[in-house]
């Protein structure tokens, strides 16, 4: 009898301590909504890589630019690295709209941005230019499903899916 009671007490204590430990992991702050991340992190980061290399042909002839100084290249690496890590932020619990498609689309952005980062490390301007389109495609693929080229449409999807950022 005594042993049985002891076991029950032990079991009850285990349940209680498990419940107390339930919220695990670091105290991540996810107050910034998907829209805030897009407007203030993802989009400015993408502009750093998209604007880094280009050619304009007009009446004055051809005007080509690409990163020249170490600072120029840091800006491209910074843009690419920010997009890689933004993918992790998009996959966080309060931001992910679902656990399959959204995750794959975030990963696609991270994959293209990783190639972009490698091109920037290799200081390969032609490749940075070519990969710009690949990055753009990954943005667009997610927007077609979750934002659909129209801010109001994006918000409608958000509120109909029952809240979240
Ligand atoms: C995993 C999905 C996903 C990916 C990948 C993604 N976006 Fe978005 N983006 C969204 C959603 C959803 C919205 C709409 C947010 C809202 O209005 O609530 C949005 C909105 C935006 C906006 C409008 C923000 C505003 O001020 O209303 C910009 C700009 C933007 N994204 C840029 C980008 C760029 C650039 C990339 C790629 C480098 C990218 N996004 C990749 C999901 C994504």
Q: 3-state secondary structure string, 4-71?
A: HHHHHHHHHHHHHHHHHHCCCCCCCCCCCCHHHHHHHHHHHHHHHHHCCCEEEEECCEEEEECCCCHH
Choosing from 34, 38, 49, 163 the residue with most ligand 1 atoms within 8 A of its CB, the one to mutate for a pocket test is: 38
Q: Is the pLDDT of residue 56 over 70?
A: yes
pTM, two decimals, is 0.82
> Region 84-107: what's the mean pLDDT?
97
> Residues with beta carbon inside 6 Å of ligand 1?
34-35, 38-39, 42-43, 46, 83, 90, 102, 105-106, 109, 135, 138-139, 142-143, 146-147, 151, 154-155, 158
**Is residue 68 helix, strand or coil?**
coil
Residue-level pLDDT at 161: 43
Residue-level pLDDT at 24: 81
3-state helix, strand, coil in the chain (%, to 5): 65, 5, 25
Mean pLDDT for the chain overall? 85
Residue-level pLDDT at 149: 57
What structural domains does the chain harbor? 29-160 (1.20.120)
Give the range among 75-79, 94-98, 153-157 with minimum mean pLDDT.
Answer: 153-157
> Region 39-45: what's the mean pLDDT?
97
């Amino acid at each position: 009898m005594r042993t049985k009671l002891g076991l029950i007490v032990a079991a009850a204590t285990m349940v209680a301590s498990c419940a107390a430990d339930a919220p695990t992991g670091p105290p991540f702050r996810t107050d910034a909504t998907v829209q805030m991340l897009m407007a203030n992190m993802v989009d400015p980061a993408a502009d750093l890589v998209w604007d880094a290399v280009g050619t304009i042909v007009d009446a004055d002839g051809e005007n080509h630019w690409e990163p020249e100084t170490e600072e120029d290249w840091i800006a491209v690496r910074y843009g690419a690295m920010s997009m890689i890590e933004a993918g992790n932020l998009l996959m966080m619990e309060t931001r992910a709209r679902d656990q399959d498609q959204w995750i794959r689309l975030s990963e696609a952005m991270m994959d293209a941005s990783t190639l972009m980062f490698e091109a920037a490390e290799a200081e390969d301007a032609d490749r940075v230019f070519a990969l710009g389109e690949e990055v753009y495609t990954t943005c667009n693929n997610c927007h077609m499903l979750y934002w659909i080229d129209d801010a109001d449409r994006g918000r409608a999807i958000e509120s109909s899916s029952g809240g979240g950022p």
